[in-house]
Structure 1
């Protein structure tokens, strides 16, 4: 994993600049993404920069920018099946001078052009310059695991792995994008479009590539989930065997590395499944070079007496007991978060929706301190397998829409038994989710933006200025639409958190659940392979018997990388909030009506208003302004 930057001059009459100095400044901004090596290529109207985190072929042969005939590449990511592609290319007459996947990408592009993307299994953000044809080709992996941002005007096309590197170019001004600020504050939504928090800076979405030729930028989607594809087997065991084969192979491929590998472990199903699968391979091999005889796991924990709903060590211990992994724990605190929040926001480039990413930040730091350079993590499983509990309500609605009353009554009863909640509570929660996120249409969207009195702190004209993000409804199936919405709108922000938190400590994070073969398979499955008997992730629970500890496999609650956010805000952030919410800079942003806002803040501090999520967003946004805009 690495950091990439580039500058392409489009207008010969534009201001003459020292491109080498500009590209060096941008490249230096991303040193944390690649502390092992750096490289710069400057030729006529193009400059490319690279910071390298050495993972595969850590020799100098993997240096970038890398050349292959007339082609030059800067690339961030990993192609896990590069050995298989390399063998195919050798049969076609290609020759290689390194053992890196970077050279395989170059040869693949030489052989197949942009169609090479269909060959790759991995995560990537890449740019290839054809020195002969004077064209620039760039692409991002299917799911958008690896980031890519760009800025374009009549004079220049500027790109980078992180927005802060683009802002390091003297011609790019740091200005807030009010539409995205609105989406963040009003809708609790981020990373949902090509727009970013910075005016003029855009994001290349996952599953897209671009070609820059003759000063024109053409962007095209090359991959998406297939809504028409369905998978049907006669027996449940057939689904389970297919899942098991795909998941095990995904983990196997992601163990390809020339540096030490570890695993995040929260104690939930997803991370436990990865730890258990790595242990399965260790039992077969006895020892894996980049892991050793025992894998290392890294977890965020809390004092169970103070924060009983966040500490998962009773589940973590079950996994450690079964796998004999070496467990490392870290204890995030509110006090440290107040000290580190500016640094955290600087790495993220954005304000963030909750404090949960701080737990992940601490886990990656812990891994770095223990000399681990690659981490496996469980992102993506919840979106693909209906892991979030609000999916129950959507599933129930779909069963009723299909007039499947018998299955509805069975599932509703099983849910009530497993979770000690009434079915009514699920429908109520479903309504709140649909309303607050504006995914049930304009009426509910309007209701959501106006039903909380504390939203009166916003200026009325600004509050009504924009519309909620568009609803994604590619099928008639409400449940499948909800999965797709979470995959396309919710998951990208989690992947950005993952990328920035890992890269802050020069660690490559790999996500086995987002192997495209597994993703396509899971999306094509019948609904009852995801929710059955009142439990989420049915197919995974069944397929990984023997790999998962039974206490984990049958677990019904869900926490993840949680933090005691509400308690922290009550006990630790009071003074921080007061300092921010009563400052002149805060009210000068142009979003708030001062008199009403001050009254609402007083009610919040007095404990009369408990919308902690909103006040966290307000606080985090102001720290972002101070970090990037002021």
Structure 2
């Protein structure tokens, strides 16, 4: 896990060091850059596989130069295969395997990799860049192409450093709507994200950029599972066992982030069956409804892990809030990033790699909103005019939950309803939400080849997982140089889940049915009868109590005028509703705090550090 950078622009060494300084936290073990024939490649390394200095990057192999962020979990299998084909290796790293695979298979090499990755190979002979991003977008990749040069990096501020790039108002508007910067857009004009599951080639001589998709989900549902439910349980368990096993290979200490939920419990249980004394970690808050530590400890004791519970107070939460923009680099407002950062910061003294349960909800229909969509679907058989009438009566209620339900009934169709649910339903404080609403790719929700629950699962895999979850986990863990690995995001798991009948994943009120049946072979089902509180912080309470003064001082009418895209009076009304206890506006308040902090951070100047020039 690392930070990468490369450019065809001519920069002096001081500016290159300043760029690498911005992502040094991603890889503090070695910082270096290499300049050759007008090409600069830079890297900040978090050493995980082959700790020897020979595996430092930029890495040279034959006529190739590479910078790589991530892990190739099946690299040992590929290495043995490539040795038989005549390729030689001088290190124990997976980086070298990527280069040899590129020479052996060309651009098709990416289809051979099981991993999370963002890399660029500079082919000296052909004077080209070849780069790729993993199938589900675990690792970030930003690039800038203005037809006079090309630049890429793990985070956008690296590209912005030394350039006069303006902030994109459309990106800010999208942030107001989605609480993140979605799709291929970026907060800086001219900077873009390489889509997940894509590779690119860039011909340096004529500045020709070509992006190709090499992987996608099965939107046609052409690969349907034909076995019995028990067959599916057995096959999925085999895939999961291997997905966990290959992610436990590391030359540094490894643990598991264990909440008391289904996904992380399953990963921890499988990990504990492969290795003795696996370390597990979770966060405990004092507030009622946010403390799952007793349940986590009970699960850890049953599967035999060395468990660590991390206590968190609002004082620590404030410290995380104040440093948030430095690590997330773009405005990002999923508040569950805060406990993730707290977990990573306290875990770092024990381990450098942590397995997580991310990805299970999207593939196996685990989110509560899936069940809510299933329940409300029959109402959408009624004419829109009737639903609007029902919604109007509900909107008269002082209860904000009734008002949200009213908004739900008034949407044009189920696809529009789901988009509004994912974006927070109420956007009344925005000046113009329509452009952001129209920006998202809705193909997956209108794909008539699949039933409703499969369509929204696909939509979340392509949007929410990529734009929100992966950003949250990558930045929050890398802020403290922790590498997170997610077995449930193994593409084999995702593809297998895609093939299953909906009833195997959600049967009546039982969500994540097949994952639960695998887990309950290892941990008693009665451990999971309590309601799940989710991986979150008590911002609703904090904003009305401990952090009330902080919110009111930060989001004054005068300061709100500096935030583009919002109606100041409507925003102040929204904040007042929260403080009076009439409506839980914590998510919107948090997004405004994040954006305000990020905009203020743009006036700060980075300080160059000493990086090694190769």
TM-score in terms of structure 2 length:
0.88
Q: Greater shift after overlay, 155-164 or 262-271?
A: 155-164
> In the TM superposition, what is the alpha-carbon distance from 1:21 to its structure 2 partner?
3.4
From 447, 466, 475, the counterpart of 1:500: 475
Q: Which stretch shows the higher mean deviation, 349-358 or 615-624?
A: 349-358
Q: CA RMSD in A?
A: 2.9
**Residue pair 1:268, 1:315 contacting (<8 A) in 2 also:** no
**Number of residue pairs aligned between Structure 1 and Structure 2:** 578
Counterpart in 2 of 1:219? Answer: 211
Distance in 1 (CA, whole Å) between partners of 2:352 and 2:571 is 46
Identify which of 213, 237, 250 aligns with 2:243.
250
The answer to whether the 8 A contact 1:7-1:23 is kept is no
What do the CA deviations read for 1:531-575 (whole angstroms, capped 9, x no partner)? 1141111111112333233334x5463333122221111112211
Counterpart position of 1:209: 199
Match of 2:347 in 1: 367
Residue 321 (structure 2) aligns with: 341
Partners of 1:350 and 1:279 in 2: CA distance: 37
Task: Verify: 1:103 aligned to 2:96, yes or no.
Answer: yes
Structure 1 equivalent of residue 46 of structure 2:
53
> Tell me, what secondary structure is at the counterpart of 1:6?
strand
Kept after mapping to 2: 8 A contact 1:535/1:556: no
Counterpart CA distance in 2 for 1:216 and 1:617 is 38
Q: Gaps spanning 5+ residues in structure 1: where?
A: 10-16, 283-292, 403-425
The structure showing larger relative contact order (alpha-carbon pairs under 8 Å, at least 6 residues apart) is 2
Find the counterpart in structure 2 of residue 300 from structure 1: 283
Cα distance in 2 for residues equivalent to 1:7 and 1:234: 50
Q: Which residue of 2 aligns with 1:538?
A: 513
The corresponding residue for 1:418 is: none
SS in 1 for 2:222: coil
Q: Cα distance 1:396–1:610, how it changes in 2: closer, same or farther (>3 A)?
A: closer
Query: In the alignment, what sits opposite 2:115?
Result: 122
1:330 to 288, 295, 310: 310
- 2:492, 2:521 → 1: CA distance? 23
Contact kept, 8 Å, 1:72 with 1:128, in 2: the verdict is yes
Pairwise CA distance, 1:428: 10
What is the match of residue 470 of structure 1? 441
Partner residue of 1:624? 598
Aligned: 1:178 with 2:169 = yes
TM-score, scaled to structure 1: 0.85
In the other structure, the counterpart of 1:390 is 369
SS in 2 for 1:345: helix
Instruction: Decide whether aligned partners of structure 1 residues 395 and 601 sit closer, same or farther in structure 2, where only a CA change above 3 A counts.
Output: closer
- Residue 486, structure 1, aligned to residue 460, structure 2: yes
- Residue 581 of structure 1 and its aligned partner are, at CA, apart by 2.0
Unmatched runs of 5 consecutive residues or more in structure 2: 382-400, 605-614
Measure how far apart 1:578 and its partner are: 1.1
Indicate if the aligned counterparts of 1:374 and 1:507 stay in contact, CA closer than 8 A. Answer: yes
**Who is 1:6 aligned against?**
6
Q: Which runs of 4+ in 1 moved over 6 A?
A: 397-402, 426-431, 433-436, 442-451
User: SS at the partner of 1:369?
Assistant: coil
Cα distance change on mapping 1:378 and 1:448 into 2, 3 Å? closer
Look up the match of 1:575.
549
Q: Deviations over 1:39-90 (max 9, x none)?
A: 2111122100011111111111211111111111000111010010001101
Q: Matched residues in 2 for 1:390 and 1:488: separation?
A: 17
